[in-house]
Amino acid sequence: DIVMTQTPLSSPVTLGQPASISCRSSESLVHSNGNTYLSWLQQRPGQPPRLLIYKISNRFSGVPDRFSGSGAGTDFTLHISRVEAEDVGVYYCMQATQFPRSFGQGTKLEIK
Amino acid sequence: EVQLLESGGGLVRPGGSLRLSCAASGFNFNTDAMSWVRQAPGKGLEWVSTISYNGDGTHYADSVKGRFTISRDNSMNTLYLQMNSLRAEDSAIYYCAREFDFDYWGQGTLVTVSS
Protein backbone atom coordinates (compact mmCIF):
# COMPACT_ATOMS: atom_id res chain seq x y z
CA ASP A 1 0.00 0.00 0.00
CA ILE A 2 1.18 3.53 -0.75
CA VAL A 3 1.71 5.68 2.33
CA MET A 4 1.40 9.45 1.93
CA THR A 5 3.38 11.55 4.41
CA GLN A 6 2.78 15.28 4.76
CA THR A 7 4.98 17.89 6.42
CA PRO A 8 4.42 19.98 8.38
CA LEU A 9 1.26 18.84 10.18
CA SER A 10 0.63 22.37 11.37
CA SER A 11 1.59 25.61 9.66
CA PRO A 12 1.06 29.00 11.31
CA VAL A 13 1.40 31.64 8.60
CA THR A 14 1.23 35.42 8.52
CA LEU A 15 -1.38 36.90 6.19
CA GLY A 16 0.16 37.85 2.86
CA GLN A 17 3.15 35.56 3.33
CA PRO A 18 3.83 32.40 1.34
CA ALA A 19 3.27 28.88 2.59
CA SER A 20 4.15 25.44 1.35
CA ILE A 21 3.20 21.89 2.27
CA SER A 22 5.19 18.84 1.31
CA CYS A 23 3.89 15.39 0.53
CA ARG A 24 5.98 12.29 0.02
CA SER A 25 4.67 8.96 -1.24
CA SER A 26 6.23 5.62 -0.33
CA GLU A 27 6.19 4.56 -4.00
CA SER A 28 6.20 6.29 -7.34
CA LEU A 29 2.79 7.70 -8.27
CA VAL A 30 3.35 7.39 -12.01
CA HIS A 31 0.49 5.31 -13.41
CA SER A 32 1.00 2.82 -16.22
CA ASN A 33 -0.90 5.23 -18.46
CA GLY A 34 1.74 7.90 -17.82
CA ASN A 35 -0.41 10.10 -15.57
CA THR A 36 0.48 10.89 -11.96
CA TYR A 37 -2.70 10.95 -9.91
CA LEU A 38 -1.59 13.24 -7.11
CA SER A 39 -4.18 15.72 -5.93
CA TRP A 40 -4.34 18.41 -3.26
CA LEU A 41 -7.56 19.00 -1.35
CA GLN A 42 -8.61 21.80 0.95
CA GLN A 43 -11.11 21.29 3.75
CA ARG A 44 -12.40 24.37 5.47
CA PRO A 45 -14.01 23.94 8.91
CA GLY A 46 -17.41 22.28 8.63
CA GLN A 47 -17.11 21.81 4.87
CA PRO A 48 -16.49 18.81 2.60
CA PRO A 49 -13.11 18.52 0.89
CA ARG A 50 -12.56 20.64 -2.19
CA LEU A 51 -10.13 19.88 -5.00
CA LEU A 52 -7.41 22.49 -5.51
CA ILE A 53 -4.79 20.76 -7.67
CA TYR A 54 -4.91 17.56 -9.72
CA LYS A 55 -2.25 15.57 -11.54
CA ILE A 56 0.50 17.33 -9.56
CA SER A 57 0.17 20.83 -10.95
CA ASN A 58 -3.19 21.42 -12.64
CA ARG A 59 -5.28 24.03 -10.89
CA PHE A 60 -8.96 23.07 -10.72
CA SER A 61 -11.69 25.34 -12.02
CA GLY A 62 -12.31 28.35 -9.79
CA VAL A 63 -9.19 27.87 -7.67
CA PRO A 64 -7.26 31.12 -7.14
CA ASP A 65 -3.93 31.31 -8.93
CA ARG A 66 -2.08 31.82 -5.65
CA PHE A 67 -2.32 28.02 -5.31
CA SER A 68 0.13 25.93 -7.30
CA GLY A 69 1.54 22.43 -7.21
CA SER A 70 4.86 20.93 -8.17
CA GLY A 71 6.84 17.73 -7.92
CA ALA A 72 7.35 14.38 -9.55
CA GLY A 73 7.70 10.71 -8.73
CA THR A 74 7.42 10.57 -4.95
CA ASP A 75 7.89 14.18 -3.82
CA PHE A 76 5.26 16.85 -4.20
CA THR A 77 4.59 20.34 -2.89
CA LEU A 78 1.59 22.64 -2.59
CA HIS A 79 2.50 26.30 -2.72
CA ILE A 80 0.40 29.25 -1.62
CA SER A 81 2.00 32.47 -2.82
CA ARG A 82 0.22 34.84 -0.42
CA VAL A 83 -1.95 33.39 2.30
CA GLU A 84 -5.39 34.92 2.77
CA ALA A 85 -7.77 34.51 5.70
CA GLU A 86 -10.06 32.24 3.67
CA ASP A 87 -7.20 29.73 3.24
CA VAL A 88 -7.53 28.56 6.85
CA GLY A 89 -8.31 24.86 6.99
CA VAL A 90 -6.76 21.44 6.56
CA TYR A 91 -4.93 20.46 3.40
CA TYR A 92 -4.58 16.88 2.21
CA CYS A 93 -2.56 15.29 -0.53
CA MET A 94 -3.93 12.07 -1.97
CA GLN A 95 -3.02 9.49 -4.56
CA ALA A 96 -5.34 7.71 -6.97
CA THR A 97 -2.65 5.86 -8.91
CA GLN A 98 -3.04 2.60 -7.01
CA PHE A 99 -5.55 0.82 -4.83
CA PRO A 100 -6.05 1.34 -1.98
CA ARG A 101 -6.33 5.08 -2.52
CA SER A 102 -4.55 6.95 0.25
CA PHE A 103 -4.45 10.37 1.84
CA GLY A 104 -1.84 12.27 3.77
CA GLN A 105 -2.49 12.95 7.45
CA GLY A 106 -3.55 16.51 6.72
CA THR A 107 -1.82 19.83 7.36
CA LYS A 108 -3.63 22.44 9.42
CA LEU A 109 -3.06 25.93 8.06
CA GLU A 110 -3.72 28.69 10.55
CA ILE A 111 -3.06 32.39 10.72
CA LYS A 112 -0.48 33.68 13.20
CA GLU B 1 -23.48 22.33 -12.56
CA VAL B 2 -22.09 19.11 -11.11
CA GLN B 3 -23.88 17.94 -7.97
CA LEU B 4 -23.41 14.93 -5.74
CA LEU B 5 -26.01 14.47 -3.02
CA GLU B 6 -25.56 11.77 -0.40
CA SER B 7 -28.38 10.40 1.71
CA GLY B 8 -29.20 7.43 3.91
CA GLY B 9 -27.05 8.16 6.94
CA GLY B 10 -28.33 7.94 10.48
CA LEU B 11 -28.02 6.26 13.86
CA VAL B 12 -27.71 2.49 13.83
CA ARG B 13 -26.83 -0.10 16.47
CA PRO B 14 -23.63 -2.15 16.25
CA GLY B 15 -24.19 -5.08 13.93
CA GLY B 16 -26.86 -3.22 12.00
CA SER B 17 -27.05 -2.17 8.36
CA LEU B 18 -27.46 1.00 6.35
CA ARG B 19 -27.60 1.79 2.65
CA LEU B 20 -26.13 5.07 1.51
CA SER B 21 -27.03 6.71 -1.80
CA CYS B 22 -25.29 9.36 -3.86
CA ALA B 23 -27.40 11.06 -6.53
CA ALA B 24 -25.30 12.55 -9.30
CA SER B 25 -26.17 15.25 -11.80
CA GLY B 26 -24.45 17.66 -14.16
CA PHE B 27 -22.01 15.21 -15.74
CA ASN B 28 -21.98 11.90 -17.63
CA PHE B 29 -22.27 9.64 -14.59
CA ASN B 30 -22.08 6.46 -16.66
CA THR B 31 -18.59 7.24 -17.94
CA ASP B 32 -16.90 7.89 -14.59
CA ALA B 33 -15.61 5.69 -11.79
CA MET B 34 -16.86 6.77 -8.38
CA SER B 35 -15.61 6.43 -4.82
CA TRP B 36 -16.74 6.61 -1.22
CA VAL B 37 -14.50 8.35 1.30
CA ARG B 38 -15.21 8.71 5.00
CA GLN B 39 -14.09 10.97 7.81
CA ALA B 40 -14.46 10.04 11.45
CA PRO B 41 -15.14 12.95 13.84
CA GLY B 42 -12.01 15.08 14.17
CA LYS B 43 -9.99 12.75 11.97
CA GLY B 44 -8.56 12.71 8.47
CA LEU B 45 -9.91 11.33 5.23
CA GLU B 46 -10.11 7.57 4.66
CA TRP B 47 -10.84 5.95 1.31
CA VAL B 48 -13.56 3.29 1.55
CA SER B 49 -14.39 1.91 -1.88
CA THR B 50 -14.32 2.55 -5.64
CA ILE B 51 -16.47 1.24 -8.48
CA SER B 52 -15.68 1.38 -12.19
CA TYR B 53 -17.84 3.32 -14.63
CA ASN B 54 -19.93 0.26 -15.55
CA GLY B 55 -19.88 -1.49 -12.18
CA ASP B 56 -17.70 -4.38 -13.34
CA GLY B 57 -14.77 -3.48 -11.11
CA THR B 58 -14.87 -2.79 -7.38
CA HIS B 59 -12.22 -2.16 -4.73
CA TYR B 60 -12.47 -1.95 -0.96
CA ALA B 61 -10.39 -0.83 1.98
CA ASP B 62 -9.36 -3.77 4.16
CA SER B 63 -11.31 -2.21 7.04
CA VAL B 64 -14.63 -2.70 5.23
CA LYS B 65 -13.98 -5.66 2.95
CA GLY B 66 -16.63 -8.36 3.34
CA ARG B 67 -19.00 -5.99 5.14
CA PHE B 68 -19.60 -3.15 2.65
CA THR B 69 -20.76 -3.43 -0.98
CA ILE B 70 -20.49 -0.63 -3.51
CA SER B 71 -22.84 -0.57 -6.49
CA ARG B 72 -24.33 1.83 -9.00
CA ASP B 73 -27.39 2.29 -11.16
CA ASN B 74 -26.37 4.24 -14.24
CA SER B 75 -29.99 4.53 -15.39
CA MET B 76 -30.70 6.44 -12.17
CA ASN B 77 -27.34 8.27 -11.97
CA THR B 78 -26.97 6.92 -8.45
CA LEU B 79 -24.12 5.37 -6.48
CA TYR B 80 -24.74 3.16 -3.46
CA LEU B 81 -22.92 1.81 -0.44
CA GLN B 82 -24.52 -1.09 1.39
CA MET B 83 -23.02 -1.28 4.86
CA ASN B 84 -23.57 -4.42 6.95
CA SER B 85 -22.22 -5.60 10.31
CA LEU B 86 -21.58 -2.02 11.30
CA ARG B 87 -19.12 -1.24 14.08
CA ALA B 88 -18.53 1.81 16.24
CA GLU B 89 -15.39 2.58 14.24
CA ASP B 90 -17.51 2.96 11.08
CA SER B 91 -19.02 6.13 12.55
CA ALA B 92 -18.10 8.93 10.18
CA ILE B 93 -19.27 11.35 7.55
CA TYR B 94 -19.42 9.45 4.26
CA TYR B 95 -18.68 11.36 1.07
CA CYS B 96 -19.05 10.26 -2.52
CA ALA B 97 -16.53 11.65 -5.00
CA ARG B 98 -15.70 11.35 -8.68
CA GLU B 99 -12.54 9.47 -9.64
CA PHE B 100 -9.65 9.81 -10.60
CA ASP B 101 -8.95 13.39 -9.72
CA PHE B 102 -11.56 13.52 -6.92
CA ASP B 103 -12.72 16.76 -8.48
CA TYR B 104 -16.28 16.68 -7.18
CA TRP B 105 -17.47 15.79 -3.70
CA GLY B 106 -20.86 15.65 -2.09
CA GLN B 107 -21.73 17.35 1.19
CA GLY B 108 -21.60 14.03 3.03
CA THR B 109 -23.99 11.97 5.13
CA LEU B 110 -23.37 11.19 8.79
CA VAL B 111 -23.36 7.61 9.99
CA THR B 112 -23.35 6.99 13.75
CA VAL B 113 -22.99 3.46 15.06
CA SER B 114 -23.88 3.31 18.71
CA SER B 115 -25.98 1.33 21.15
Quick: pLDDT tens for A61-78: 999 999 999 999 999 999
Strand segments, DSSP code E, in B15-63 are 18-25, 34-39, 45-51, 58-60
Instruction: Give the model confidence (pLDDT) of B28-46 as tens digits.
Output: 999 999 999 999 999 999 9
Q: Cβ of A55 and B101 within 8 Å?
A: yes
Please report, for residues A101, B47, B76, B78, the alpha-carbon distance to residue B88 in angstroms, rounded to integers and kept in the order given. Answer: 23, 17, 31, 27
Interfacial A residues in 46-105 facing B (CB < 8 Å): 48-51, 54-55, 60, 90, 92, 94, 96, 99-105
Is it the case that residue B100 has pLDDT exceeding 90? Answer: no
Compute how many other C-beta atoms are within 10 angstroms of the C-beta atom of residue A27. Answer: 13
Q: State how far Cα B31 lies from the chain centre.
A: 18
Size of interface A-B (CB pairs under 8 A): 59
- The verdict on a CB contact (< 8 Å) between A96 and B104 is no
Confidence check: pLDDT of A52 > 90: yes
For residue A16, is pLDDT > 90? yes
User: What is the mean pLDDT of the segment spanning B54-72?
Assistant: 98
pLDDT tens digits along B88-98:
999 999 999 99
Which residue from A48, A99, A105 is facing B106, i.e. has the nearest CB? A48
pLDDT tens, residue by residue, A79-111: 999 999 999 999 999 999 999 999 999 999 999
Residue A45 contacts B where some CB pair is shorter than 8 Å: no
Q: How far is B73 from chain A (nearest CA, A)?
A: 23
- Predicted confidence at residue B83, as pLDDT, reads 98
Burial class (CB in 10 A: 0-12, 13-18, 19+), A24: middle
Residue A86 buriedness (CB in 10 A; 0-12 / 13-18 / 19+): exposed
